[in-house]
């Protein structure tokens, strides 16, 4: 059995689990990633430009195969070979392994954007379905086009159009023209988000309540006759 101190002497290699999970998605083969791991292992131990012949033996590959894999890593912008000056001003070659993190970061950003676009398309599909459900009929091609113009040309948020549809339904007016007037009215008031619509609705409620209070105060007080008291 190998003694514990031998395990500790060889140290450990620490990398982000994100690389382990997505190295295939960013275009690395298993062999290319294994070479990157070997280079990373040496880098952490302080050897920034290890002997590729030694790594070839550890991987049971020929030197030619390892050089080919290294060239692939460079072409895929996962590593760079750079020259660094030491304390005496002498230049030494070194492997820069950080480009793989930049490549991974770009991939993950694209994934986030792709998911956002997918969610937005789903919301738009639900918007068309809401109109058809409230109007109790399929939308005409012209109506589809008009809703598309609200989204693409006027840049109205899906949630904003949904709220305008709700206002129209509450007023029992099932017409895109009416929804359009609501949206234009909000636009004139610089209302562009669902949060601003809710704020405007609360403001209107407060104004109505204040008017009702004033009306109630303005009414004359009438004393009620107590029919239980006999004259």
Q: Which two tokens stand for residue 163?
A: 């709220």
pLDDT bracket for residue 226 (50, 70, 90) = very low
Q: Is residue 214 part of a domain?
A: no
Q: Which pLDDT does position 218 carry in this prediction?
A: 57
Mean pLDDT value of segment 95-120 = 94
Residue 94, SS3 per DSSP: strand
CB atoms within 10 A of CB 15: 16
> Residue 197 falls within a domain, yes or no?
yes
CATH number of the CATH domain containing 202: 1.10.10.630
List, in order, residues 6 or more apart from 72 with CB less than 8 Å away. 29, 32
* Residue 48 is assigned to a structural domain of this protein: yes
Cα–Cα distance list, 136 to 36, 99, 175 (Å): 60, 56, 12
Number of structural domains, the chain? 2
At 197, the pLDDT band (50, 70, 90 cuts) reads: confident
Whether 28 is covered by a domain: the verdict is yes
Residues 92 and 15 in one domain: yes
Instruction: Say yes or no: 180 and 142 in one domain.
Output: yes
Are 16 and 93 in a shared domain? Answer: yes
Reported as half-sphere exposure (CB side, CA atoms, 13 A), residue 5 has a value of: 0
Q: How many CA atoms lie within 13 A of 104 on its CB side?
A: 17
CATH assignment of the domain containing 27: 1.10.10.10
Is 19 part of a structural domain of the chain? yes
> What CA–CA distances, in Å, run from 132 to 27, 79, 129, 180?
44, 54, 5, 16
Per-residue pLDDT of 61-101, as tens digits, reads 999 999 999 999 999 999 999 988 777 878 888 999 999 99
pLDDT value of residue 195: 85
The more confidently predicted of residues 219 and 111 is 111
Dihedrals phi, psi of 83, to nearest 5 degrees: -110, 125
Residue 52: per-residue pLDDT: 94
- Residue 175 tokens read as 């017409």
pTM above 0.85, yes or no: no
Return the bridge partners of 96, or none.
Answer: 80
- My answer on whether 44 and 85 are in the same domain is yes
Q: How confident is the model at residue 230 (pLDDT cuts 50, 70, 90)?
A: very low
Identify whether the C-beta of residue 43 lies closer than 8 Å to the C-beta of residue 100.
Answer: no
pLDDT (tens digit per residue) in 143-189: 999 999 999 999 999 999 999 999 999 999 999 999 999 999 999 98
**pLDDT of 9 strictly over 80:** no
Considering the domain architecture, whether residues 131 and 89 belong to the same structural domain is answered as no
Its domain, for residue 175, covers 118-207
Q: Is residue 54 part of a domain?
A: yes
pLDDT value of residue 87: 79
Q: In sequence order, what E strands does the chain have?
A: 80-85, 91-96
For residues 75 and 30, membership in a common domain is answered with yes
Tell the burial category of 165 from Cβ atoms under 10 Å away from its Cβ (0-12, 13-18, 19+): buried
Looking at the domain assignment, is residue 73 inside a domain?
yes
Q: What is the model's pLDDT at position 111? A: 93
CA distance readout (Å), 193 to 65, 74, 97, 127, 152: 58, 47, 44, 16, 16
| Cα separations in angstroms, 112 against 105, 106, 119, 129, 184 | 11, 10, 11, 26, 33
Residues in the chain, how many?
231
- Per residue in 11-60, pLDDT (tens digit) is 778 888 999 999 999 999 999 999 999 999 999 888 999 999 999 999 99
Q: Is residue 181 part of a domain?
A: yes
Which three-class secondary structure state does DSSP give residue 27?
coil
Tokens 């002997």 correspond to what residue? Answer: 51
One domain, residues 51 and 81: yes
pLDDT value for 4: 61
């Amino acid at each position: 059995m190998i003694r514990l101190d031998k395990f500790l002497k060889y140290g450990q290699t620490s990398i982000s689990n994100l690389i382990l999970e997505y190295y295939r998605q960013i275009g690395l083969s298993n062999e290319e990633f294994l070479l990157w791991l070997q280079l990373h292992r040496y880098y952490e131990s302080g050897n920034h430009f290890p002997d590729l012949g030694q790594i070839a033996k550890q991987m049971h590959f020929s030197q030619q195969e390892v050089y080919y894999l290294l060239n692939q890593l460079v072409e895929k912008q996962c590593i760079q070979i750079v020259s660094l000056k030491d304390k005496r001003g002498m230049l030494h070659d070194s492997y820069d392994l950080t480009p793989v993190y930049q490549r991974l970061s770009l991939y993950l950003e694209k994934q986030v954007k792709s998911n956002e676009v997918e969610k937005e398309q789903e919301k738009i599909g639900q918007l068309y379905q809401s109109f058809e459900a409230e109007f109790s009929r399929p939308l005409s091609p012209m109506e589809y086009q008009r809703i598309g113009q609200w989204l693409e040309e006027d840049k109205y948020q899906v949630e904003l159009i949904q709220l305008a549809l709700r206002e129209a339904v509450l007023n029992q007016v099932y017409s895109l023209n009416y929804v359009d007037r609501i949206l234009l009215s909000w636009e004139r008031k610089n209302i562009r988000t669902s949060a601003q619509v809710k704020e405007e609705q609360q403001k209107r409620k407060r104004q109505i309540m204040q008017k009702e209070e004033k009306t109630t105060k303005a009414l004359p007080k009438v004393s009620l006759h107590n029919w239980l008291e006999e004259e």
